[in-house]
Homo-oligomer: A and B are copies of this chain.
Amino acid sequence: MDELDSEIVRILQANARISNRELARMIGVAPSTCLERVRALTRRGVIRGYHADIDLKALDRGVQALVALQIRPLSRAVIDAAIGYVSTLPEVIGVFTVAGGDDIVLHVAVRDLEDLHAMLLDRLSKRPEIAGFRTSVIFEHVRNRVLTPLSIIDPSGS
């Protein structure tokens, strides 16, 4: 992960469909060199894939929520089963396993509030290991899609 690799990673996060030639031009190496760098990054697992970002409203899934679950009893088997279950739900677009008052936080995207309500009642309430949940409707979700190593940046907090 030298300077060139960091630049490649930065640019491909911003635009995964840039051509290899353009990418090579931007970082100042030959296309063949650039191609080999990208392949090495992929081989090493640094680049994990390339994904189109789709407007959730276009999928008729404009309503999002965070749902914090409490799991009981809190054994590995039970928590693994709960994670396995919620991961199969089509409404769920992300699963966080966390430490603290909650055990699992779901990021869900559904059509409307009615579907959200139905999902909570029909899919979560009936599971005995889900002892409780708190739902927070999301007004807005902004993601930073271009992540850099933090060490570069001012660590003083000023």
Cα A145 to Cα B48 with chains together (Å): 12
Cα A143 to Cα B96 with chains together (Å): 9
* Contact (Cβ within 8 A) B144 A93: yes
Chain A contact surface mostly: mixed
Cα A98 to Cα B49 with chains together (Å): 30
Size band of the interface chain A makes with B: 35 or more
- Chain B CB count within 10 A is highest, among A49, A56, A91, A118, for A49
* A94 at interface, CB cutoff 8 A: yes
**Residues on the B chain within 8 Å of A9, using CB:** 52, 54, 58-59
Contact of A59 among B61, B98, B119, B147 (CB under 8 A): B147
Contact of A147 among B46, B109, B122, B148 (CB under 8 A): B109
The 6 A-B residue pairs whose C-beta atoms are closest, nearest first, are A122-B157, A12-B52, A16-B50, A100-B136, A98-B136, A46-B58
